[in-house]
Amino acid sequence: MAGSSQQGELVDVEDKLVEVVEWEGREYQKYSLAREINLSPCDQDEADRLEKQHFFLKDLLTGEEWPRNHRLFPAAATHAHDFLDLGFGTGLWCAEVGSYDTRFRVVGIDITSHMAIDDNPPNVELELQNLNEELMLSDLNSFDFVRLSFVSGGISRQRWPGLLSDIFNKALRPGGIVQSMEWDLHFRSDSDAEASLSNLREWTRLYTTALSSSERHEGRKIHRVEDIEDFMRAARFEVSSKVIDVPIGGWPNDRRSKAIGTKNFENMSSLLETIATYVVVSRRICSLEDFKDLIENAKTELGNDEAELYMRLHIVWGKKAA
């Protein structure tokens, strides 16, 4: 990206994307905070969380929708050749898709490359762009599969329809598929332990309140992941979806679910702090001290296996008619 400074002097906007600020022991992208884009840290701890989440989600995605040999994209995209990952994070998915078949073309776009792994196969290209602005692509309608995973914290509410229209009109070939994957951020229990989840419930309430309470359009995010399905329909996609209840903790009896739940417990313990602290505190929904206390109590609730906690993972596919 290139742009001009207020003094009229040409500056490379990419330089601005490099600057980080430290806040409460975590590193954030300065550019993102100033414009209320990605309000989560972009440091090594967050990269580690995303990497672990990436791996246990691959363990989770089984069945006929997910080819056993890679579990990177659904069987419906088996004939895909050109892949676009919007909000690549660590870039691990791009690297794995690129390595899976070196004839593939993989493009990743993110506002920051701070968490990106260094080693990428030559068929992977990572670019910096703000997805809250019009999508810029060098080749129009040249992708078969577009991935949007866990980006809802950085996409403004008012941008969603435009982003999905851009994917439909500019990114995908006819017959191509966009896939969104998001946690619904509600801690659920089917046991009698409802009452013991009060801190987790309060965490969700504060976080979702914070997501929508910005003075700026760009700062206001969706807090109902179900909205994405409606936005896809409005953008003329043929929509299908799947909701997976993902355990949190080692409470399930079967070995596979127990292993996933154990890894997800670690993931959720970290996520409570990572995605919410800056947005809740900077928007004055709660003081830092009180929010830290709440997170500690919520983590204790998270570790209560008797509650048999789980969270819903929403996967939505949109197909552009052939």
Site for ligand SAM, rule CB under 6 A: 37-38, 50, 54, 87-90, 110-112, 130-132, 149-151, 154-155
Q: What angle do CA 206, 268, 184 make, to 5 degrees?
A: 60
Q: How far is the CB of 74 from ligand SAM (least distance, A)?
A: 15
Q: Of 193 and 244, which CB lies nearer to ligand SAM in the complex structure?
A: 244
d(CA 178, CA 272) in angstroms, rounded, equals 28
Tell me phi and psi for residue 269, to 5 degrees: -60, -40
Q: How far is the CB of 58 from ligand SAM (least distance, A)?
A: 11
Q: Of 89 and 176, which CB lies nearer to ligand SAM in the complex structure?
A: 89
Q: How far is the CB of 177 from ligand SAM (least distance, A)?
A: 16
Q: Of 112 and 189, which CB lies nearer to ligand SAM in the complex structure?
A: 112
* 3-state DSSP assignment of residue 136: coil
Give the other-Cβ count within 10 Å of 269's Cβ: 17
Q: Of 157 and 319, which CB lies nearer to ligand SAM in the complex structure?
A: 157
Rounded to 10 degrees, the C-alpha dihedral 302/290/209/231 comes to -40
Q: How far is the CB of 283 from ligand SAM (least distance, A)?
A: 17
Q: Of 135 and 307, which CB lies nearer to ligand SAM in the complex structure?
A: 135
Q: How far is the CB of 120 from ligand SAM (least distance, A)?
A: 15
- State the residue number with the nearest CB to ligand SAM: 154
112, 128 Cβ separation under 8 angstroms: yes
